[in-house]
Structure 1
Amino acid sequence: MADTTASPRTASPPDDAPRIIVRRSARRRRTLAARREGDAILVMVPDGMDPEIESRQVHALVARLLKREEISSRPSDPGELERRAADLALRYLDPVVGSRVRPSSVLWVSNQHHRWGSCTPSTGRIRLSATMQDFPAWVVDHVLLHELAHLVEPNHGARFKSLAKSHPRALEAEGFLIGWSWANRRDHADDGAAGGLEDDVDQG
């Protein structure tokens, strides 16, 4: 069975808004998915969806995608993440480890599509997916604390898990990430516990 129809419908928004291509998928049952395709936005919708419901959901999904893109393109304070990292380490890691745990740099990156964060213990560099820039602060802090814990323990052993889960809203944040991944059908859902934080250590 073909995944999509051969001739997708294209809507042309006014002004300088991106073109919206709506493509029907025989494999989809309920959810919609959207992604960038050059200067257009491709939206995959279930075949046979009610036109009025489809129109509303396509509009809402495109609006969310454009909002994320707008937030990701905003200039950010290069020191903000490092200050947050230092505050988290001071509260949750330094007292347990008995020394200062600080990254060499922390940056938002737009090319990290398969994981929420990554850490290179050998250099102290931490990178966070720009997708999270409009997530609640406690979710971002949980991911950041997870990466900071890798500066102490590069593996995912018992000590690492104890450090990484020390944020008071760790379980809630994991649930948020898993739910967001499933709702948006992002590749993050292939990482560890369906959108959780695993396999995020770079050895270089």
Structure 2
Amino acid sequence: MPTSVLHANENVEVRRSKRRKSTVSAYRDGDVTIVSIPARFTRAQEREWVAKMLTKLEAKESKRRPTDDELLERAVALNVRYLDGRAVPMSIKWSDNQERRWGSCTMPDRSIRISTRLRGLPEWVIDYVILHELTHILVQGHGPDFWAHLEAYPKTERARGFLEGITFAKEDPGAA
């Protein structure tokens, strides 16, 4: 039977398994962190491993949460690599107020906003959204010319599918 504990302002569910002999794993499921441990662990070992796994998860996730400055560095690199340096943004920042969009590009000032909902997602997905918004500096709208620019990025279709899956699951959680 899983036990739920609050650890450093985090909701943690500990799952003990008789089949698990020595390995410990952890993952996030929404706002709950699931930590799976061997059933034989003592409460002290449980506390020790929960703390270790929370630290490990946080380190892993922080690598996937670039700062605004790192977003700009990534945008510059993506622009050079996939758009021949032609789509120079004036600014790129994280945005908390994008509920329905993954990103936006405001012209003519070439400012890009990336939804904070992307934080923690795989880098190739974030890169796709950045590249998508950079492409809007070159092409307004989503016509054939727009998509032709994005063909250079090899994970465009995969990233679009990934984001569509998130949107679908959020809009219809019972369908998944």
What interval of TM-score do these two structures reach, taking the shorter chain for normalisation?
A: 0.5 to 0.7
Q: Percent identity?
A: 36
Q: Contact 2:103/2:113 (CA < 8 Å) preserved in 1?
A: yes
**Which residue in 1 is equivalent to 2:32?**
63
- Compute the displacement of 1:115 (Å): 0.5
CA RMSD for the aligned pairs? 3.1
Say whether residues 1:110 and 2:93 are aligned partners: no
Distance 1:136 1:122 in 2: 30
Q: Contact 1:110/1:130 (CA < 8 Å) preserved in 2?
A: yes
**Which residue in 1 is equivalent to 2:144?**
158
Distance 2:127 2:98 in 1: 17
Corresponding residue SS for 1:143: helix
**Which residue in 2 is equivalent to 1:83?**
73
Q: Provide, for residues 148-178 of structure 1, a one-character-per-residue CA deviation record: whole Å limited to 9, x for no partner.
A: 0000011222211111332101111111101
Distance 1:76 1:142, change over 3 A: closer
Distance 1:162 1:184, change over 3 A: same
Distance 2:159 2:83 in 1: 18
Q: Contact 1:146/1:164 (CA < 8 Å) preserved in 2?
A: yes
Q: Contact 1:105/1:124 (CA < 8 Å) preserved in 2?
A: yes
**Which residue in 1 is equivalent to 2:157?**
171
Say whether residues 1:138 and 2:124 are aligned partners: yes
Aligned length: 127
Q: Provide, for residues 104-134 of structure 1, a one-character-per-residue CA deviation record: whole Å limited to 9, x for no partner.
A: 0010111111100100121100000001110
Distance 1:86 1:16 in 2: 37
Distance 1:89 1:14, change over 3 A: closer
1:119-130 map, 5 Å: 119-130=105-116
Q: Provide, for residues 67-106 of structure 1, a one-character-per-residue CA deviation record: whole Å limited to 9, x for no partner.
A: 9xxx79xx95332111111111111111xxxx63210001
For structure 1, the residue ranges without an aligned partner over 5 or more in a row are 1-12, 20-58, 187-204
Distance 2:150 2:66 in 1: 26
Distance 1:122 1:109, change over 3 A: same
Instruction: Write 1 or 2 for the structure with the bigger share of strand.
Output: 2
Runs of 4+ residues over 4 Å off in structure 1: 13-19
Q: Contact 1:118/1:127 (CA < 8 Å) preserved in 2?
A: yes
Distance 1:79 1:15, change over 3 A: closer
Letter matched to residue 70 of structure 2? E
Distance 1:14 1:135, change over 3 A: closer
Q: Contact 1:149/1:163 (CA < 8 Å) preserved in 2?
A: yes
Distance 1:79 1:184, change over 3 A: same
Corresponding residue SS for 2:157: helix
For structure 2, the residue ranges without an aligned partner over 5 or more in a row are 12-27, 34-56
